[in-house]
């Protein structure tokens, strides 16, 4: 995806921001809550103190972190003012920064953990994102990525394609405002590299370890990289 497409994405997300959380729950049949909890659990295993959630959107993950562990120093970064504003409406005290995930304003080695849920797919360049995340993680710090992927089983893959091409546009046209944004969502999931290709990118970004685990047979995947 070219960098200028980030501008188009920013507009998409500004438009869908007010309905975003409702649409998320509907389109994922509420499974997104379970997947986010897994991401949280994985991140908190290492007892981080300073955490950054990139592409934080309406700040769901930030609120979850704060409800689970007190004393966390947590920051959210996102490209869309519309999404960040929805987050601020819920909690005025959140530390939010408007910015691009591939070029953040943070210094080297400053976070114990970085998370990104359903935002990696949107980055203008996946490798650039991983290199930037690694730069701002402290040594041994952990990056956890939750992303929509394609199931590996061929039958489930067909089912998922039907869902993305028929059910998703139908539901989103009924509830969502911006049809184009949801068309983009379906296209971007299908264009996303498979799990092994993503691990290859972690290696190219020079993470010392990386792994992945599937959620619901690969409808989503959680990737973990250690600096």
Interface residues toward ligand SAM, by CB under 6 A = 6, 9, 13, 24, 55-57, 60-61, 78-80, 83, 100-101, 117-119, 122-124
Give the residue closest to ligand SAM by C-beta. 57
Helices 60-68 + 31-44 axis angle, to 10: 50
- Report DSSP letters for 117-170, one per residue: ES-GGGSS-HHHHHHHHHHHEEEEEEEEEEEE---SSHHHHHHHHHIIIIIHHH
Task: Say how far apart CA 218 and CA 169 lie, in whole Å.
Answer: 21
Shortest distance, position 97 Cβ to ligand SAM, whole Å = 10
Shortest distance, position 20 Cβ to ligand SAM, whole Å = 7
Shortest distance, position 94 Cβ to ligand SAM, whole Å = 13
Shortest distance, position 103 Cβ to ligand SAM, whole Å = 9
Comparison of 4 and 108: residue with beta carbon closer to ligand SAM: 4
Comparison of 25 and 140: residue with beta carbon closer to ligand SAM: 25
Comparison of 191 and 196: residue with beta carbon closer to ligand SAM: 191
Shortest distance, position 101 Cβ to ligand SAM, whole Å = 4
- Report DSSP letters for 12-72, one per residue: HHHHHGGGHHHHHHHHTTTHHHHHHHHHHHHHHTT--SEEEEET-TT-HHHHHHHHH-TT-
Comparison of 155 and 224: residue with beta carbon closer to ligand SAM: 224
The helix/strand/coil state of 87 is: helix
Comparison of 187 and 209: residue with beta carbon closer to ligand SAM: 187
């Amino acid at each position: 995806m070219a960098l200028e497409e980030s501008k188009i994405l920013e507009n998409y997300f500004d438009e869908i921001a007010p309905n975003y959380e409702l649409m998320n729950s509907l389109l994922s049949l509420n499974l997104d809550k379970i997947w986010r909890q897994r991401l949280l659990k994985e991140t908190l295993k290492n007892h981080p103190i300073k955490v950054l959630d990139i592409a934080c959107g309406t700040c769901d993950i930030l609120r979850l972190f704060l409800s689970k562990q007190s004393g966390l120093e947590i920051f959210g970064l996102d490209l869309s003012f519309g999404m960040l504003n929805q987050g601020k409406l819920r909690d005025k005290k959140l530390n939010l920064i408007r910015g691009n995930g591939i070029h953040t304003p943070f210094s080297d080695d400053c976070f114990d953990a970085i998370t990104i849920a359903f935002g990696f797919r949107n980055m203008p360049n996946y490798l650039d994102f991983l290199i930037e995340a690694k730069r701002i993680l402290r040594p041994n710090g952990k990056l956890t990525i939750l992303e929509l992927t394609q199931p590996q089983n061929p039958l489930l893959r067909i089912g998922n394609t039907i869902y993305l091409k028929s059910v998703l546009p139908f539901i989103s046209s009924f509830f969502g405002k911006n049809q184009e944004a949801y068309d983009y969502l379906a296209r971007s999931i299908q264009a996303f590299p498979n799990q092994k290709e993503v691990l290859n990118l972690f290696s190219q970004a020079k993470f010392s370890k990386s792994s992945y685990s599937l959620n619901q047979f690969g409808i989503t995947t959680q990737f973990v990289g250690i600096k």
